[in-house]
Amino acid sequence: MSDTSTPVTRQQWQQLADQLRFEGRAYINGASQWAVSGETFPCISPVDGRQLAQVASCDQADAEQAVIAARQAFEQGGWSRLAPTERKRVLIRFAELIEANGDELALLETLDMGKPIAHSRAVDVPATARAIRWTAEAIDKVYGELAATPHDQIGMISREPVGVVAAIVPWNFPMIMASWKIAPALATGNSVILKPSEKSPLTAIRLAALAEEAGIPAGVFNVLPGFGHTVGKALALHMDVDCLVFTGSTNVAKQLMIYAGQSNMKRVWLEAGGKSPNIVFADAPDLKKAAAEAASAIAFNQGEVCTAGSRLLVQESIRDEFVHMVCDALKSWHPGHPLDPATTCGAIVDQAQLDRVIGYISIGQAEGAKLVQGGKRIMEDTGGLFVEPTVFDGVLNPMRIASEEIFGPVLSVIGFNSVDEALTIANDSIYGLAAAVWTSNLNTAHKVARALRAGSVWINHYDGGDMTAPFGGFKQSGNGRDKSLHAFDKYTELKATWIALD
Ligand code: NAD
């Protein structure tokens, strides 16, 4: 289905949804196929509880086929040895096809994981296309190096594709997270096996067809839907996978390091969890803007965001006033039907995640934090999975709601007095993905930004980012970086070649 006119009403989106055909097969070596075992799993929409499709439940046998195909394609060189300019051309075509099929991809994303259609259409689709296009455009502009050698030697430093890359991704931004991996992996000439989350497999499967249409050769890009403990584990333990790239939880990230150690020491690059501090000083230049962004930082994508500003650190002198402003701002994030273009906050991805979010709300109350807004499941009669954006005030950093990643719209407000106290609280976390600081004081801004142990720091805004800058975490938020030219480090081996001159 290609774009003619993007729907503007919920009814029009629903009509389009009614016409959708859902592909549930894996994509291996240029062909769609069911799992070798014949097993499938149901793909249930959190929007209304309806089954969208049966999806191939891949396991070790499918991983085996995909790795053989990927290896053969890599060795044959139809992609790996193609001129970078040619790979660029194909990948740009891939990005164009994503844009041309944007309505369909946005719908698949919304129906599959519950995010508002307005966001799938305006954020997920363009960001996916941009990641692929930006990376493609860069690939014929990177050069090797010459070492500072003595006169009778030449030392050439070059980069080569690592080989077969397995990419295991989560469900919160299924397409975007996939694109951050597959774009640099493919651009640098690798063969790729993408394993989407079992909670959101549909767009990855659709991307495979678009990649084929763009001209990516058979075997170079494969998609294996299925569960982590089956096909994910098989890929992570495989002796012929050279590199494993992952976005997901810290617990699974640690397990993948073990799998790599138990198998072939494949390179493992991890983007994991977060519990990001959003620090608001009394001298913030615009408290209204800070409150609006504190609200979106916890409610955008239903709070299912690795960089969610889930710990709101507020200077005591403005705490009551500011919490009130945040609660007010959260009213514009009241959940609604995800196909309604006016909806800002959609459905939680599945029952297990909803139970987790509700469970943490109970934990917060039991820990003695003060529930000041939200706290309940709503719209149950729709058959969908919706929860109110929730605010706890009077939270102490050691409480579980402040130290553990909830991955839902639950905000913990923690008071502080001084710059040093704010920094101590902010850095007292196993995570180090992102952080923000709001202040008009240049000294405070720089001092805090420098001392924050986080891969991304925002001053006087929340959640900035672009393909032009690296993204990733300190501490147990991961290693390596996605996006920007730094992402190429994950997908290439550095080679030093020495020439002795007579
Ligand atoms: P998850 O760790 O449960 O699953 C992620 C992926 O790993 C899925 O595809 C899953 O099937 C697979 N998996 C699970 N167990 C596995 C195993 N034993 N072997 C191999 N694969 C396995 O995470 P999730 O619930 O899908 O996503 C939420 C998490 O992702 C949160 O912790 C969030 O912070 C994190 N996340 C991080 C970033 C980032 O860039 N740092 C971005 C988005 C999400």
For domain 277-466, the CATH class is alpha beta
Q: What is the pLDDT along the chain (502 residues), one digit of tens a residue?
A: 444 689 999 999 999 999 999 999 999 999 999 999 999 999 999 999 999 999 999 999 999 999 999 999 999 999 999 999 999 999 999 999 999 999 999 999 999 999 999 999 999 999 999 999 999 999 999 999 999 999 999 999 999 999 999 999 999 999 999 999 999 999 999 999 999 999 999 999 999 999 999 999 999 999 999 999 999 999 999 999 999 999 999 999 999 999 999 999 999 999 999 999 999 999 999 999 999 999 999 999 999 999 999 999 999 999 999 999 999 999 999 999 999 999 999 999 999 999 999 999 999 999 999 999 999 999 999 999 999 999 999 999 999 999 999 999 999 999 999 999 999 999 999 999 999 999 999 999 999 999 999 999 999 999 999 999 999 999 999 999 999 999 999 999 999 999 999 9
* Amino acid identity for residue 291 in this structure: A
Distance CA(316)–CA(435), nearest Å, equals 19
Strand runs labelled E in 198-307: 221-223, 243-247, 267-271, 277-280
Break the chain into its structural domains and give their ranges.
22-143+160-272, 277-466
Q: Specify the DSSP element, H or E, that contains 315.
A: strand 311-315
- Residues for the chain: how many in total? 502
Residue nearest to atom 17 of ligand 1 (CA): 228
Active site residues: 271
Question: CA–CA separation, 487 vs 187, rounded Å?
Answer: 11
Our mutation pick for probing the ligand 1 site, out of 115, 197, 268, counting the most ligand atoms within 8 A of Cβ, is 197
What residue ranges line ligand 1, CB within 6 angstroms?
168-172, 177, 195, 197-198, 227-229, 232-233, 236, 247-249, 252, 255, 271-274, 306, 405, 407, 433, 473, 477-478
- Percent helix, percent strand, percent coil in the chain, to nearest 5: 45, 20, 35
CATH topology of domain 22-143+160-272: Aldehyde Dehydrogenase; Chain A, domain 1 (3.40.605)
Which class for 486: exposed (0-12), middle (13-18), buried (19 or more C-beta within 10 A)?
middle
Kindly state the tokens that stand for 86. Answer: 């040619």
**Phi, psi for 41 (deg, rounded to 5):** -135, 150
User: Residue 4's pLDDT is what?
Assistant: 62
Residue 201 · residue 230 · CB < 8 Å: no
Task: Judge contact between 115 and 124, C-beta under 8 A.
Answer: yes
User: Ligand 1 centroid vs 357 CA: distance in angstroms?
Assistant: 16
Find the 170 Cα to ligand 1 centroid distance in Å.
Answer: 5
Atom 40 in ligand 1: which residue has the minimum CA distance? 271
CA distance readout (Å), 64 to 35, 222, 226, 343, 395 = 11, 12, 14, 42, 49
Helix boundaries (H) for 286-397: 287-299, 319-330, 351-366
Instruction: Give the three-class secondary structure for 259.
Output: helix
Cα 419 to averaged position of ligand 1 atoms, centre (Å): 34
Same topology, domains 22-143+160-272 and 277-466? Answer is no
Which ligand 1 atom is the nearest neighbour of the CA of 477? 41
H/E stretch holding 192: strand 191-195
